[in-house]
Amino acid sequence: MSIEREGESGQNGSNNTNIRESSRISITHYPGSKQQGPAYKDCARRALSEGYKYAFFTDVDEFLVLYQHNSIMELAVDYMGKGDEDVHVDVEVDKDGKIRGASSDPPPTPFQTERNETRIVGSLGMNFRTLGNNCDTDYKDLPVSKRFQYRVESSYPMNVFIKSLVKLKWLNLDVDFTDPHFYKLRKDANGKQAVKIDTNRQVRGGSLQPMRLYDVAAVHHFLHKSLSEYRKKRDRGGGTTGPSMLLIENAKKGLDNHGKPLPGGNIYDDEVWKRLVEKTYECKCRREVRRDERQRAKCQHAAMMYWSSVQAKHQSKRDPYVMQS
């Protein structure tokens, strides 16, 4: 999802078939397997060329829930700066130029700070909150946010993964997008690498945030849905990895990625559904207001036309005589 101004967003692509566009959304099909990376990269390239400032890389079964901001635009500006303005964070750098926290791999030796620097924030990572499957076995023709309203414990392994809100001008488009949870960033004019941070404003590298931060925002992930849907998902394969025989066999047995029974969920959480209903009601109210305004404008126009015709008739009866010399 690309973001430019509050209230405007879209999904973009170019290497495509069957593009459908509206004022806010483009739907582009990428046939074949392992197309998630190319699709995301193409979306980012198009969004940047069309003047968008930010992009949130997400899937259709993932919903961003904000707890402290009124909009995703407000969140982006808070953490990464408005438009071309940038936000900087203090970082610790070692003698090799590595930044504390910027690597997802444990360092072979304890990190030894040589100096402190400031770096530009190019991306914000937010943790998954996985929803359970309610022990459902079959698909129902209802929104997933209505069907599944119990999430699993925060300790669930999949919750360590993050999705990223990125400032597009710092996104490195010269490399392949191979991981939907991690995107490489560019260097600034001084050769210093832009960094990704978490919602605690701490530098965070890679695809994971083991602390599972949920005070500012969370990506509600409807990962499993019903058993039949989950099996189809695993048969289809991951967007960057393709089908995995291990995951396919696990799904046939009703097991998740880690070989455990699919979680039903035990914590009530209807945040996505509640916000969808609120937004739907707001949109309905706005439509009714616009309809009333259009109706009022028509009535005002008709009244003006009527009184104009009355005045014209009245004026014609009062035309002065033409004086003869």
What secondary structure does DSSP assign to 95-160, as a single string?
Answer: TTSPBTT--SSPPSS-----EEEEEEEEEEEEEEEEB--TT--S--SS-HHHH--EEPPTTSGGGG
Lowest mean pLDDT among 52-56, 69-73, 270-274, 301-305: 301-305
- Whether the Cβ atoms of residue 99 and residue 193 lie closer than 8 Å to each other: yes
Single-letter amino acid, residue 135: C
What residues are paired with 238 via a beta bridge? Answer: 242
- Whether the Cβ atoms of residue 56 and residue 220 lie closer than 8 Å to each other: no
- Helix, strand, coil % in the chain, rounded to nearest 5: 30, 25, 45
pLDDT value of position 323? 44
Q: What percent of the chain has pLDDT over 70?
A: 85
SS (H, E, C) 245-290: HHHHHHHHCCECCCCCECCCCCEECCHHHHHHHHHHHHHHHHHHHH
Q: What is the 8-class DSSP label of residue 83?
A: T
| Count of beta carbons in the 10 Å neighbourhood of residue 263 | 21
Residue 22 in this model has a pLDDT that exceeds 90:
no
Q: What's the mean per-residue pLDDT of the chain?
A: 86
pLDDT value of position 25? 79
For residue 259, the number of C-alpha atoms closer than 13 Å in the C-beta half-sphere is 2
pLDDT band at 4 (very low <50, low <70, confident <90, very high): low
pLDDT value of position 3? 61
Residue 243 in this model has a pLDDT that exceeds 50:
yes
Residue 258 in this model has a pLDDT that exceeds 60:
yes
Give me the mean pLDDT over the 248-277 stretch. 95
Angle at which helices 227-236 and 245-252 cross, to 10° = 170
Per-residue pLDDT tens over the stretch 157-213 = 999 999 999 999 999 999 999 999 989 999 999 999 999 999 999 999 889 899 999
pLDDT band at 252 (very low <50, low <70, confident <90, very high): very high
For residue 185, the number of C-alpha atoms closer than 13 Å in the C-beta half-sphere is 28
Per-residue pLDDT tens over the stretch 71-115 = 999 999 999 999 999 999 999 999 888 898 887 666 667 888 989
Q: What is the 8-class DSSP label of residue 62?
A: E
pLDDT band at 13 (very low <50, low <70, confident <90, very high): very low
pLDDT value of position 96? 87
Residue 10 in this model has a pLDDT that exceeds 50:
no
- Whether the Cβ atoms of residue 158 and residue 233 lie closer than 8 Å to each other: no
**Maximum C-alpha span of the chain:** 113
- Which tokens is 192 given? 């210093």
Give me the mean pLDDT over the 53-65 stretch. 95
Highest mean pLDDT among 20-24, 66-70, 110-114: 66-70
pLDDT band at 65 (very low <50, low <70, confident <90, very high): very high
Q: Which class for 49: exposed (0-12), middle (13-18), buried (19 or more C-beta within 10 A)?
A: exposed
